[in-house]
Amino acid sequence: MRFPRKCSVTHHADFIRIRKTGHAKAGRFVIVSTLADPALPSLRAAFVTSKRAAKKAHDRNLIRRRLRSYLQAHAPALSDPKRYIVTIARPGAAQASNADLEADWLRQCQRLKLMP
């Protein structure tokens, strides 16, 4: 299933605001940043995978697809859906198993109190 464009963070200024004023937690494979914004109509998300995370484009695309699927699966459980969520893949995410990557992403979301 495709991630809707209206749920994506598209402006560079939003990325900067989320990173500067939001909260972030780093795990072994991902860094999750979040910022609550009551003016948002719904959840906005972004996934960043640089060449440092994976050298091949195929691997970077795989990481992004996995991260999107985790968000889509767990979005109904979010405590406050009116927020920005930015997930940044760290080096080693390409070699991580699907279960390890999902567990790390969920752990960071729980540390940020996004999920009960």
Residue 16, domain member (yes or no):
yes
Is 31 a residue whose pLDDT tops 80?
yes
CATH value at residue 49: 3.30.230.10
| Cα distance between residue 5 and residue 43, in whole Å | 11
How large is the average pLDDT for residues 96-110? Answer: 95
Residue 116, domain member (yes or no):
no
- The domain in which residue 80 lies consists of 5-111
Residue 22, domain member (yes or no):
yes
Share of the chain above pLDDT 70, in %: 97
Average pLDDT, the chain: 91
pLDDT value at residue 2: 64
| Cα distance between residue 30 and residue 96, in whole Å | 11
Q: Do 43 and 7 meet the contact criterion of CB atoms below 8 Å apart?
A: yes
Residue 88, domain member (yes or no):
yes
Residue 65, domain member (yes or no):
yes
Domain count, the chain: 1
pTM reported for the whole predicted model: 0.89
Q: Residue 92 — left, alpha, or beta (φ > 0 → left; ψ -120 to 50 → alpha)?
A: left
Residue 53, domain member (yes or no):
yes
Residue 61, domain member (yes or no):
yes
How large is the average pLDDT for residues 34-38? Answer: 91
